[in-house]
Amino acid sequence: MATEGEPLPLQTPAVRKSRKAVVKARFADEVRFLGSLLRAPRSVGAIAPTSSETAMLMASHIDLDSGLPVLELGPGTGAITTAILGTGLAPLRLYAVEYSAAFCRLLRDRFPGANFLQGDAFDLPASLGEAAPPAFDCVISGLPLLNFPKEKRAHLLQTALDLLEPGRPFVQFSYGIIPPIPLSDPSITVTKSRWIIRNVPPARVWVYRRKA
């Protein structure tokens, strides 16, 4: 505990330095993100990494006690990955499919032990390969779904839900006002969160489940 005359812990040079490092890393990610957006606008589909508030809300759907691995789609620079691992999930229990080779290299460096697979999330069987586990606790997606045709989104949802127990969630953030994947299958339900205003742009978290 700090006594009178001592600097408060929040003001120590070490804390100031580590805060500076966090701000620097965040800025570097934003620059990386913008660079990728310019090179592949449809695939990146966002002007900045997801906010920590949105990411934590998405990760809150993980049931650590299930003992099952988690599947992340489109991790980018790792904003949602950070929140997923922040729940206490062991890195070995995280599988993530990312299209960009450059993002995959960055993620492997940043989150040792987690399984980053370079591939197409719209072709999960091929991207996960034979070494991947047959079932997951939940799927958490940062894909820019609205940039893809409706049929492709619907197919992705069915394929992802096939990897989960009935009732377990496919979690997706979206900037839109309507569900990012329109529902035509009566066995699937969807719920939405409040708007997260601090996200750039504001977003909501949508949760799809196959009825148990």
Ligand X SMILES: C[S@@+](CC[C@H](N)C(=O)[O-])C[C@H]1O[C@@H](n2cnc3c(N)ncnc32)[C@H](O)[C@@H]1O
Strand 188-192 vs strand 204-210: parallel, antiparallel, or unpaired? Answer: antiparallel
Place of tokens 């066995």: 187
Phi, psi of 196 (to 5 degrees): -105, 100
Amino acid, res. 50: T
Query: Which residue, 75 or 169, has its beta carbon nearer to ligand X?
Result: 75
CB of 46 to ligand X, least distance (A): 4
CB of 208 to ligand X, least distance (A): 17
Query: Which residue, 120 or 162, has its beta carbon nearer to ligand X?
Result: 120
Query: Which residue, 122 or 159, has its beta carbon nearer to ligand X?
Result: 122
Residues of the shown chain interacting with ligand X in the complex, contacts defined by CB under 6 A: 43-46, 49-50, 74-76, 79-80, 97-100, 103, 120-122, 142-144
Strand partners, 164: 136
Neighbours of 100 (CB within 10 A): 19
Query: Which residue, 103 or 136, has its beta carbon nearer to ligand X?
Result: 103
CA-CA distances (angstroms) from residue 190 to 49, 128, 157, 172, 193?
24, 25, 11, 11, 10
For residue 208, give the 3-state DSSP assignment: strand
Query: Which residue, 165 or 200, has its beta carbon nearer to ligand X?
Result: 200
CB-based contact 76:44 (threshold 8 Å):
yes
CB of 94 to ligand X, least distance (A): 13
CB of 183 to ligand X, least distance (A): 21
CB of 12 to ligand X, least distance (A): 31
